[in-house]
Amino acid sequence: MSDHKVVAVFGSSQSRPGDGDYDIGIRCGRLLAEAGMAVATGGYGGLMEAVCRGAAEAGGETYGVTAPAVFPGRSGANPWVRNELPAEDLVRRIALLTDLADGYIALPGSIGTLAELVIAWNLAFVAPFGDRSFGPIATVGDTWAELLPLLNEKLASDGSFITTCATVEEAVTHVAAALI
């Protein structure tokens, strides 16, 4: 689809322009575009919009994987999405988003962001058993830094597939270095 590496960015739909997380989303999208990467998000508002806005304003390519049947009250992708990819339901939406991407960043979010991150984590975990490689996964923020070690311990999983980062700059640097 894209001539560039694509980074899926997961994040809250509740962030609004002017709050700190929204500004982080804009910075994430801009940094990814400046590194020569396209971005893919869930396509709607909040951090999804912020990431696409930052990327588009920096001349980057943007994808929004929407789910119109799941969110009939939403009028379509945010205005910064250049390529909308509608999915039938949430399962197909996450599958398309993870299939489209070469790398992954989770910004602050809630249960939807957690679901996307855990699916990417699981795909990275099982990738060595198949014929597919799986790109880097990074998270940004205190919530992930606290939650992921707990999940790793309680679920007896391998947390080495995810790099927790304090800043969006650190996350983009990590993902970009692995993809370039």
Tell me: the pLDDT tens digits for 59-92? 999 999 999 999 888 878 999 999 999 999 999 9
Evaluate if residue 119 carries a pLDDT over 90.
yes
- Give the E-state strand segments of the chain in sequence order: 6-10, 38-41, 62-66, 83-86, 103-106, 137-140, 162-165
Q: pLDDT tier at 158 (50, 70, 90 boundaries)? A: confident
Return left, alpha or beta for 39; rule: phi > 0 is left, psi -120 to 50 is alpha, else beta: beta
Residue 2 confidence (pLDDT) above 70: no
Question: Is 172 among the domain residues?
Answer: yes
Does a structural domain hold residue 153? Answer: yes
171 occurs within a structural domain = yes
Report the amino acid identity of residue 151: L
Whether residue 54 lies inside any domain: the answer is yes
Query: Edge to edge, what strands does the sheet with 62-66 contain?
Result: 83-86, 62-66, 38-41, 6-10, 103-106, 137-140, 162-165
Q: How confident is the model at residue 117 (pLDDT cuts 50, 70, 90)?
A: very high
CA angle in degrees (0–180, nearest 5) for 159-31-48? 70
- Give the predicted TM-score (pTM) of the model: 0.96
How many independent structural domains does the chain possess? 1
Is 92 part of any domain?
Answer: yes
Answer whether residue 1 is part of any domain.
no
Determine the Cα–Cα distance for residues 106 and 144; give it in Å rounded to an integer.
Answer: 8
Which residue range(s) make up the domain with 10? 6-179
Structural domain contains residue 134: yes
Question: Residue 1 has what pLDDT?
Answer: 60
34 in a domain, yes or no? yes
Say which CATH number the domain at 123 has: 3.40.50.450
